[in-house]
Structures are given as C-alpha cells and as structure tokens.
Structure 1
Amino acid sequence: MAICGGTSAAKEATQAVKDICQSVRSQAEKEAGKTYAEFTAKTFTTQLVAGTNYFIKVHVGGDDDHVHLRVHKPLPCNGEKLTFHSMQHSKTEEDEIVHF
C-alpha cells in the first residue's frame, strides 16, 4: 500500500511510460551532456500530486548502465505538457527507484 503523498510500488514499464521516456530523451541527454546508444524504460513508480510524477528507471547501454528520470505529467485540465524535472546518474538495475 502506498503512503499518502509517497510513491507507488515499482512496476514494469508500460507502453505509456515508454512513450513518456522517449518524449524526454533529448532533454535527458542534454542534461547528461551525452547521447545514449540505448534509452529503454524498464520500471517506474508514480506519485500523485497536481498531476503525476513519474520516476523511471532507464537502461542507457552497457551491461548495467541505468539512469533514473523524474518527469511530471500535469492534470489534463491544466493543458500543460510533460515536464522533464531531473535525473540521477550511475544507477544499476538493482538500484531502487526513490523519490528525488
């Protein structure tokens, strides 16, 4: 059970989450200062706020090179677009996705 205001349990990436991941790829690569050979969403958690925060574990190449993305999807009534918030580098497949 999720804690009120906390993040959900980690789940396998759905097609919708994979699409979100691809839509912010260029922004993530710009922040990282490099282009990734691979950019595949693996798992994710969510946090309900005034919309939804997505915390996405992304495989970016190599045997075990991952990053974590934070992306905000506003409520539909706000008419805003997805917002790339931030990312964490040097993650592995085993690293837990946590709020950041």
Structure 2
Amino acid sequence: MMPGGLDETQPATPEIQKIVDEVKPQLEKKCNEKYDCFNAVNYRRQVVAGTVYYIKVHVGGERYVHLKIYEPLPHENKPLELSAYQTGKTKDDEVAFF
C-alpha cells in the first residue's frame, strides 16, 4: 500500500472489532442512539501520521454504518478517535473515503 493511499477492502478481524467496540460509545453519543448489534464487517486502511480506518459495521437488521476512525501513532499516547461516520448504509455499500 502506498502511504496516504487507501488499501483494498478486507474482512474484519478481531483487532478491527476491538477498535469499533472502543469507539462505539462515541458514535452512540453523536447519534443519540444505542446499538445492541455492533459487528465489524469489513474495512480499509489509510496510513498517514497514524492510521485511518474506514470500517463497515452491521448495527442490526438491514442497517449498516460506516466509521472513519483515527488511530494516532503509538508514541502520541492518545485514544482512538471517531472522526466521521455515515449512517443509512446497506450491506452492498462499499467502504470508501469520506
């Protein structure tokens, strides 16, 4: 992958699920909604000064959200940040820049 570029879509891993679990409270607060189902489906990464993850999350029924999560470099000692999100997504919507 080229630095700054977005890599190919990959199936979610336990590490990716851990990342979405960590930012779930941030999304629930921003959306003013509680999610009983919150399962990472797939993701793409962008390496910048840290890593940006674009992750598709199944939130129940036919509902999906796309999350943009920034992971700072380890030496910065900062938490994961939900920097943007898109609701109203479907199973077939591709995860891309937003």
Return the TM-score normalized by structure 1. Answer: 0.92
4+ residue segments displaced more than 3 Å: none
Asked if the contact 2:3–2:46 (Cα under 8 Å) also holds between the matched residues in 1, the reply is: no
> How large is the RMSD of aligned CA atoms in angstroms?
1.1
Counterpart code for 1:95: D
Structure 2's unaligned 5+ residue stretches are none
1:67 aligned partner, one-letter code: V
* Residue-by-residue CA offset, 1:26-63 (whole Å, 9 max, x unaligned): 1111111211120000000000010100000000001x
- Percent sequence identity over aligned pairs: 39
> What is the alpha-carbon distance in structure 1 between the residues aligned to residue 80 and residue 35 of structure 2?
21
Provide the rounded CA distance (Å) in 2 between the counterparts of 1:75 and 1:23. Answer: 17
CA deviation vs aligned residue, 1:56-100 (integer Å, no higher than 9, x gap): 0000001x2100001111111111111111100100111010111
Where do 5+ consecutive residues of structure 1 fail to align?
A: none
Whether 1:7 and 2:6 are equivalent positions in the alignment is yes
Count residues in correspondence. Answer: 98
Provide TM-score, normalisation by structure 2: 0.94
